[in-house]
Amino acid sequence: MGSSAWLTFTLYSPDLTAALLAAQLSTFHAGYYYWAGDGEPPATIEELWQDPAVHGTGTHAILDIFELIGPDEPDTPMAVRPLSRDRLLMAFGTDRPTRAQFDAAYRTDLLDDGYPRWCGRCCTLYVDDGPSEIAFWGASGD
């Protein structure tokens, strides 16, 4: 099947781990993920990952992310990291990008820094100079 790119937005939280969990829960409950299992879909994310079918293919969604790492740490499989200030300035010309700036940068691949499959990135988006939401994006799945 190959990997799939994914993009998820969630409301801003100063706690990126909590924001990641919120993004995962909304993705799961909306059913925006791949599941190759038989029968009824899993009722929880934990049940989803207990399904052997998921171990081979992943979910092709933010559900494949289990860890948040620092902006300067090397990529780790199944981890997401925030963009560094330098990367924000390079991609957006500001360290406080708006959703419109994010959408434009995402469409033109300015945010593709060569991150490997099974990894992702995130950044806070702003409205009127205040944090509004967090974008998470990456690629995963086999």
The tens digit of pLDDT for each residue in 16-52 reads: 999 999 999 999 999 999 998 888 889 999 999 998 8
User: What is the H or E stretch that residue 107 is in?
Assistant: helix 99-107
Average pLDDT, the chain: 94
The DSSP call for residue 6 is: E
Predicted model pTM: 0.94
Between 3 and 107, residue with greater pLDDT: 107
**pLDDT tens digits for range 107-132:** 998 898 888 999 999 999 999 989 99
Give how many domains the chain has, as a whole number. 1
Strand order in the sheet with 79-82: 4-11, 130-140, 119-127, 79-82, 67-68
Domain span at residue 41 reads 4-140
Confidence band, pLDDT 50/70/90 cuts, at residue 102: very high
